[in-house]
Structure 1
Amino acid sequence: MYEAETIMAVQRMQEYIEANILKKITLKELANVAGYSPWHAARLFKEATGKAPFDYIRALRLTKAALLLRDSNEKIIDVAIDFVFDSHEGFTRAFSKEFGMPPSKYSKSTPPIKLFMPSKVFETYRVFHKGEKEMSKENNTKSVFVQVIERPARKVLLKRGIKATEYFAYCEEVGCDVWSVLTSVKEALYEPIGMWLPKNLIKEGTSQYVQGVEVPLDYANKIPEGYELIELPPCKLMIFQGEAYNDDDFMEAIDEVWKHIEKFDPTIYGYKWAPEAAPRFQLAPMGYRGYIEARPVEAINEGR
C-alpha cells in the first residue's frame, strides 16, 4: 500500500491532467506538480494508476472526444484538434485502437463503448483503508430526505454477476469497469445505477446485485457482449437521500441511510414495501449530494 505522500502526489498529477486536458502536457509539468523528478513522478504514476502518464492522458482525451462526438455535431477534425491530436489520421488510428471502431462510424451509430474512467488514486486508497478509520466519533443524528417517484415502463441494460449481493463482491466477480460502458449509453434515461434485483428477475446462477442503466422501451442500439436488456414494468419508488458528506466518509454516509431505512415506516406516506415490484437501486455515492437509494413501494389501497 502506498504512503499518503505518494497518493497525494499522484492525485495532484491526475487533477492537473484533468484541468489541462485540452493543452499539451509535458512530463516536466507533471513532475513539478508532483514535487518529484520526472523519472520518479512517471514511475509513481504508473504504479498507482496502471498507466504511464501519456497513455493515461491519451485514453482520457479519447474518452472525452468520444463523448463529444456522441452528444454533438462537431466535425471529427475539429474534435481531433481540440484534444491535441496532430491530424485526422492520427486521431482516427488512436480512436480505433481504443474503442474498436473509427470515429466516423461511432459518431453515426454511437453504440455503447468502454470509456476510460480513471478512479482517483486517493479514492482507491480510502476504500482499502475504510476499516482503519476511528469509529468512536459521536454518532450525531442525520437528516434523510424522503420522496416518492414514479418510473414508467422501460428497459434496463445490465451486466449480471455470479453470487454478488453488494458492490465490492460484484467488482470482484465482473470487474469495476462496467460503469464505463454504462456511462457511454447515449439513450440512457437516467444515470447508471447499482441494483438489487427482485427474485423474479434473477436468473439461476447469477447475482442479486447488478449494475445497469435504464433506457427507453424502443432502445435498439447494440447490446455489448456480456450484457443483457430486460424490461421493467411501471413502478413507484421511495427515494432516500442523506445529507451531503465528506468524500472520505462515504461508507459511514451509506450506513447512516441504511439504518434510517431499516427503521422507516412507509405507511406514514400511505405506502408499503414492494420488494418484488422493481429493483432496489443506489446511485453512485457523491459527497456533494448525499447518498441516494431507492426502494420499490406500492400504495396501501392499490388494487382495492
Structure 2
Amino acid sequence: MSWISRMNEAIDYIECHLMDEVDYAEAARVACCSVYHFQRMFSFIAEVPLGEYVRRRRLTLAAFELQHQDIKIVDLALKYGYDSPEAFTRAFSSLHGVTPTAARKVGTTLKAYPKIAFHISIKGAVEMNYRMVELKPFRIVGISERVNTENAFSIIPQIWDNARSQGVFEELWNIRQEGHEVGGILGICANGEFGENEEFDYILAITSEHEPREGMVKFEYPASTWAVFDAPGHPGGIQEIWKRLYTEWVPSSSYDLAYLPAIENYLPPEEGRNELWVPVVAKKEATRD
C-alpha cells in the first residue's frame, strides 16, 4: 500500500471517530508510523496541527446539524466531545464568529472545513542532498524534558536557550564520543513508546560511551539504516528539510520511517550546515502491528 493511501486511510479513521474519541496512536498505526511522525507529517502537509484539524471538522459538522436538525445545544456539545454547553459555545463562536443559537438562523454566514485528502504534488526539481548510512549500535547521553507535540515549535527553542545559559553544551561536549559519525549537538524527540501518545521527551544530547550523571538520561540506538540529509546552517534549515522529508522524499522513496527517534545533528558553525538523521526501513519491511 502506498504512503498516500495509508495517510488517506488514517484520515478516514479520524473522520469515523469525530463523534467520539480520536485515538491518535491508532491513526498513526493505520499510517504505519509513530504518533510523533504522524502529527508532524500532518502539520507540515496540511499546514494546520492535527488537533486543530479535528476541532475544525467537529465544529463544521456541528454547524451542519444546527442548520438542518432540531437538536439541543447541550446534546450537540456532548456529541462532539465538549464537557458543557458553555465550552461548546465558546469553541463554536471562536471558529464561526457566531453563537450556536445564531447559527440556526437562515442566512447566517458560517465556516466549513472539508475532510482533507492527500495527493502527490509535482514540484520544481530542487535537489535534496542525502546519503544512506548503516550504523552499529550507539548511545546518546543528555538532558530530557517532556514536551506536548502541539506546542513543540515554541517550547524546544526555550530548551536550547536554557541549556546554553546553564553551560549544558560545554558539559556534553566534554563527554562526546570522538570520531562518531553523528558528531554534533543532537536534538532528539523520543519516549519509551516511540511517540505512542501526544507528548514526547525532547533530549538535548551527544553521542557518548559514558554513563549519564545524575539528572541526565541515555538512549541506546540499535543497529539501523539511516537517511542523512544535509540542511542549511541558518536557523530554520532543519525545519525546511523536515517539511521536504514528509512532503517529497518519503512519498517518492523506497523507504518508510522506522519506529526509532530521528536525530537533528547540529554541527559546529564553521561547517556551515547541519544534518537530519532519519532511521528508515525498506517499504517491503514496513508492516502494521
Same topology, TM > 0.5 = no
The structure where strand makes up a greater share of residues is 2
Between 1 and 2, higher relative CO (CA 8 Å, sep ≥ 6) is seen in 2
TM-score, scaled relative to structure 1:
0.42
TM-score by length of 2: 0.44
